[in-house]
Chains A and B, each alone.
Chain A
């Protein structure tokens, strides 16, 4: 029998959102604290870091430990939880003097562009001044304390998880306000004389004592929930209430009176905090290379030299792995073997999609992991693309000397292939046919072999591969870019090896000249330029995701986006294709297609062709042209419509990416575990019995919260598209009113897209790629 005491102490639950937020806050603080060690180390000794960490740890303890699990059953436990949130966590956090470390720890652009303007905005400053008035802080703290202990409000919090969180938030925030004047975190200044903090604390204690005494001496159970709660180990609810009152009274009073006594002693002994602060600020600047700073430098945590960007290649182990040609070749080989396995199973295995590698890996897992990689890193799939090996094989054994026709040096062919793919996917249920999937993979290998075997350069990737185009476009939102480290080095370079190559190392086959390359468009992350650069001046550099969407710059081998209508059409196909592709699996669209099929007596491929034509070309074309026309007219712009629409096309990439992400992550999670039984089945087919029999009813990560994430992806996609649209509109006219007029029609297009996407993800869906399909 399990020991109840063990069960009590193991009653922890990690609230994911809050835990992530606590960790993020700590990371930001730590980053800032380290930076400040090299500037003002005497202001931020180690104990400040420890205090801040302890404050965050206290919050975690209050909301994740058994205190939270048993707060609804025992008032005394709930009281401890509240004391931690009101009286322990806030002073500890404030003792960490978090203002400067957090500000210094935020990404520089974010701190300067997003937070900075608010910090000096007069209305916010006024609100801040009002809120940080000691009288307001004291009143807020005591009112919150009294109000939430009124039975009606306490019961409200106990019976509603949402109100319970509001209650905790209220305690924490008012606690931070109250304790601010006691701790006075640097660089804060005292609003009242220091001696005034003694009555400030004592009066708060009087209020606390009054409330605690009422709880302790009241002869009935105050909160009905605890009266009816099960009595663990025979506990009595009235005794529980008395104990809760005592906890509030005794430890509560100690927390108020100890600092009051310290302030009184400091005041009387003339060693007030202010004198100490004055002495500190009067100190001559110490050498920054002392104490903790030296240790941090030894640990490799020294300050970044000004202007140096974060380079993934400089990260230990990972950087070396990504740079190594052998590791890239190794990964390409693994992917090639996987592609061969998928093709073989597609041809020879059972023609039931969720039971076949060809039905599971490419449509569920590869697509899902690819979009996640694009979101967090970049075009990693192209880096490890198995077709790379086939292309190199073709180059070696075939002539590879013809020039790619000029008429095909654009994105029209891949745009057409993408549209064809969207049609074929739905018309022939590619996801449900391992045999067809295997044929597609085989055709892909053949196309890569022939095109790059007979033509010079990387034409297959740049002008043909629809998958590559998908990655190029979505990687405009990736946080990393293959980029020049120091532009000055390139200015003096005479070799241009990054594009021309050397005898032993080819340059960029996609004709992207590093010094003029901007963004990830057309970049396969092959790292040829990195290997070719004689100055080791190309890195995998962190960039602001999406910045390239709104800059109208000239790009090497691409030109300005406004001049590339072919690219704009490709982007629109990808963006609206995201909607059409997801819509294909929802019940209302399936019913509509079936009805149309029976009504007009048409075959499924024809009906799907009509659906694709209307869903990807006609309706989006009409909407985009109307938005472009109205935007140009309202902004009184004298620019041709085609480049104008091409410019705004890029602003829709975030929404399209969000929809792809929502769609593919949905499949990845609903079919998460399917490769396990499929591998077992293949093993059995090969007469290998050690893995056991496959369990086709295996669980998945299909949790209800999946929909929350899908909505959040679309929320963020909408916001980034709106911002990108605004920035592009600004390029056409700086005037706020005119800019708004240019922006409005496009913003309506984004919102319409968002609403349709939301409608789609709420519909009943065909669970493609799973046994339920």
Chain B
């Protein structure tokens, strides 16, 4: 029983790591390349988005690991209201100033066949994601549109971390109840 609980806790604590694929946003051919673009989280909202790209040769579908990949993110003009991004205060330091030419690297995440980078989507709406691929003398690019939802209110995004105090209090109450029963 205890082992069950402990092992349960183990997996509960496991965090999501970036760049393990996610939802496919684009798949198609360009020049000699077959390109697949993934994003995580699958349903995009304002804030950090993990973009990963699989580049394969068009004929044999072998993964290509010697390309140079950069991402350009630009917002499409919309008339509706926009929701600005909220990010944890510490992120202010590492937020890139420019959303153009963001390098996507192979050692970015778990899957080493994918080129990846984390991009900061600043507001809700439709964004254009352009992937530039350079391999030897061949330079190609593909573009796709991303629909980005408004962000969740900050405390809601962290709701799971606020569970600890109520769970601790509940555990304490149960512990006391168990002791009292035991004494009776």
The smallest beta-carbon distance between A768 and chain B, in angstroms, is 11
Q: Are A229 and B164 in contact (CB under 8 A)?
A: no
Q: Are A702 and B94 in contact (CB under 8 A)?
A: yes
A711 to B157, CA, bound (A): 12
Q: Are B164 and A716 in contact (CB under 8 A)?
A: yes
Which residue in A13, A59, A94, A763 is a CB contact (below 8 Å) of B10? A59
Q: Mark B24-44, 1 if CB is under 8 A from A, else 0.
A: 100100000010100011100
The smallest beta-carbon distance between A349 and chain B, in angstroms, is 23
Query: Given the complex, which residues of B lie within 8 Å of A121, measured CB to CB?
Result: 174, 177-178, 181-182
Q: Mark A1-25, 1 if CB is under 8 A from B, else 0.
A: 1101001101111011110111001
A706 to B94, CA, bound (A): 13
The smallest beta-carbon distance between A352 and chain B, in angstroms, is 17
Which residue in B7, B109, B155, B174 is a CB contact (below 8 Å) of A118? B174
B residues 37-75 with Cβ under 8 Å of A?
40-42, 48, 54, 56, 60-63, 65-66
**Within 8 Å of chain A (Cβ to Cβ): is B80?**
no
CB nearest to A716 among chain B residues: B164
Q: Are B155 and A762 in contact (CB under 8 A)?
A: yes
Query: Given the complex, which residues of A lie within 8 Å of B77, measured CB to CB?
Result: none
Total interface residues on A, using CB and 8 Å?
92
Which residue in A173, A233, A699 is a CB contact (below 8 Å) of B7? A173
Contacts A17-B13, A162-B16, A706-B88 known; A229 to B24 CB distance under 8 Å? yes
Q: Are B62 and A4 in contact (CB under 8 A)?
A: yes
A546 to B15, CA, bound (A): 30
A161 to B66, CA, bound (A): 29
Contacts A69-B111, A173-B7, A232-B61 known; A7 to B90 CB distance under 8 Å? no
The smallest beta-carbon distance between A354 and chain B, in angstroms, is 12
Q: Are A17 and B165 in contact (CB under 8 A)?
A: no
The smallest beta-carbon distance between A148 and chain B, in angstroms, is 14
A124 to B165, CA, bound (A): 22
Q: Are B178 and A176 in contact (CB under 8 A)?
A: no
Chain B residues touching A, range: 35 or more
Query: Given the complex, which residues of A lie within 8 Å of B182, measured CB to CB?
Result: 117, 120-121
Contacts A4-B113, A700-B94, A770-B93 known; A758 to B17 CB distance under 8 Å? no
Which residue in A59, A115, A165, A718 is a CB contact (below 8 Å) of B12? A165
A residues 76-110 with Cβ under 8 Å of B?
93-94, 98-99, 102-103
The SS class assigned to the A binding surface is helix
Q: Are B168 and A763 in contact (CB under 8 A)?
A: no
A17 to B161, CA, bound (A): 14
Contacts A7-B106, A702-B93 known; A228 to B7 CB distance under 8 Å? no
Q: Are B62 and A233 in contact (CB under 8 A)?
A: yes
Which of A16, A124, A704 gathers the greatest number of chain B CB atoms within 10 Å? Answer: A704
**Within 8 Å of chain A (Cβ to Cβ): is B137?**
no
Query: Given the complex, which residues of B lie within 8 Å of A22, measured CB to CB?
Result: 10
Query: Given the complex, which residues of B lie within 8 Å of A711, measured CB to CB?
Result: 158, 161-162
Contacts A93-B7, A712-B164 known; A228 to B155 CB distance under 8 Å? no
**Within 8 Å of chain B (Cβ to Cβ): is A707?**
yes
A residues 686-723 with Cβ under 8 Å of B?
699-700, 702-708, 711-712, 715-716, 718-719, 722-723
Query: Given the complex, which residues of B lie within 8 Å of A591, measured CB to CB?
Result: none
Q: Are B66 and A122 in contact (CB under 8 A)?
A: no
A residues 183-233 with Cβ under 8 Å of B?
228-233
**Within 8 Å of chain A (Cβ to Cβ): is B79?**
no
The smallest beta-carbon distance between B14 and chain A, in angstroms, is 4
Which of A10, A12, A122, A702 gathers the greatest number of chain B CB atoms within 10 Å? Answer: A702
**Within 8 Å of chain A (Cβ to Cβ): is B78?**
no
CB nearest to B12 among chain A residues: A169
A176 to B21, CA, bound (A): 30
Q: Are B175 and A117 in contact (CB under 8 A)?
A: yes
Query: Given the complex, which residues of B lie within 8 Å of A68, measured CB to CB?
Result: 20, 110
Query: Given the complex, which residues of A lie within 8 Å of B168, measured CB to CB?
Result: 715, 719, 722
A16 to B112, CA, bound (A): 19
The smallest beta-carbon distance between A18 and chain B, in angstroms, is 4
Contacts A117-B178, A160-B42, A715-B164 known; A176 to B4 CB distance under 8 Å? yes
Q: Are B112 and A73 in contact (CB under 8 A)?
A: no
Q: Mark A160-180, 1 if CB is under 8 A from B, else 0.
A: 111001001100110011000
A722 to B168, CA, bound (A): 10
Q: Are A17 and B14 in contact (CB under 8 A)?
A: yes
Query: Given the complex, which residues of B lie within 8 Å of A770, measured CB to CB?
Result: 93
Contacts A18-B14, A121-B181, A233-B60 known; A719 to B165 CB distance under 8 Å? yes
**Within 8 Å of chain B (Cβ to Cβ): is A666?**
yes
Which of A63, A69, A165 gathers the greatest number of chain B CB atoms within 10 Å? Answer: A69
Q: Are B93 and A772 in contact (CB under 8 A)?
A: yes
Query: Given the complex, which residues of A lie within 8 Å of B60, measured CB to CB?
Result: 233-234
**Within 8 Å of chain B (Cβ to Cβ): is A128?**
yes
Q: Mark B87-101, 1 if CB is under 8 A from A, else 0.
A: 111111110000000
A113 to B111, CA, bound (A): 44
A320 to B21, CA, bound (A): 51
Query: Given the complex, which residues of A lie within 8 Å of B9, measured CB to CB?
Result: 21
Q: Are A103 and B2 in contact (CB under 8 A)?
A: yes
Q: Mark A471-492, 1 if CB is under 8 A from B, else 0.
A: 0000000000000000000000
CB nearest to A585 among chain B residues: B89
**Within 8 Å of chain B (Cβ to Cβ): is A761?**
yes
Given A17-B15, A72-B21, A172-B8, 15 other A-B residues pairs in contact with their CB atoms under 8 A: A7-B65, A28-B6, A72-B20, A93-B3, A113-B175, A118-B178, A161-B20, A176-B4, A233-B62, A711-B162, A715-B165, A722-B165, A722-B169, A762-B155, A764-B89
A-B contact pairs, 16 of them (CB 8 A): A1-B66, A4-B65, A11-B110, A25-B7, A98-B3, A118-B174, A120-B178, A165-B14, A168-B11, A230-B61, A233-B63, A704-B48, A715-B168, A719-B168, A722-B169, A726-B172
Closest 9 CB pairs of A and B: A13-B110, A17-B13, A18-B14, A121-B178, A21-B10, A117-B178, A707-B88, A161-B16, A7-B112
Binding site for A on B (CB under 8 A): 1-4, 6-17, 20-21, 23-24, 27, 34, 36, 40-42, 48, 54, 56, 60-63, 65-66, 87-94, 106, 109-113, 154-155, 158, 161-162, 164-165, 168-169, 172, 174-175, 177-179, 181-182
